[in-house]
Structure 1
Amino acid sequence: MTTTALATGPLKATDRCDSCGAQAYVRVVLKEGDLLFCGHHGHRHEAKLRPVALEWHDETDRLQPQPTPATD
């Protein structure tokens, strides 16, 4: 049996949504290849794609505001 490693490294700012061109935060690995989506389009297509996805790589948590450290 051969195991294939999936290419799901962190998404970069240069990775763009296949639907609208915005920064991609979701990578869907399919048998036929990868799809990249912004958070909006990833959520929109999730119900149809998740059942056939080999992997669902979601970095939309990066869209949440990060807490700033308290200063003295």
Structure 2
Amino acid sequence: MPETLTRPELTAADRCDRCGAAAKLRAVLQSGGELLFCGHHAREFKAGLSEVDADLQEDEQIEL
């Protein structure tokens, strides 16, 4: 049975890797790497991240 890993909720301390704004999306890549994006950059990159099967964790307070 595979182990399910949980990640902590995004907080105000989490910042976008592209511009430094508050992170609204965490993308966990298949390699184990992690990227954080603000709402603007999340919308820009969400389709591509889905194509590479990244696990996406969205801030529940916004709609991307």
CA distance in 1, matches of 2:47, 2:62: 21
Would you say the 8 A contact 1:16–1:23 is kept in 2?
yes
Would you say the 8 A contact 1:8–1:27 is kept in 2?
no
Alignment coverage as a number of residue pairs = 62
**TM-score of the pair, normalised by structure 1:** 0.71
% identical equivalent positions? 42
Partner letter of residue 29 of structure 1? V
**TM-score of the pair, normalised by structure 2:** 0.79
Task: Tell me how far 1:4 sits from its aligned partner.
Answer: 3.9
Counterpart secondary structure, 1:40:
helix
Counterpart secondary structure, 1:18:
coil
CA distance in 1, matches of 2:5, 2:54: 9
Higher RCO structure, 1 or 2 (CA under 8 Å, sep 6+): 2
Gaps of 5+ in 1: 65-72
- Structure having the higher helix fraction is 1
Partner letter of residue 13 of structure 1? A
Gaps of 5+ in 2: none
Higher radius of gyration, 1 or 2: 1
Partner letter of residue 20 of structure 1? C
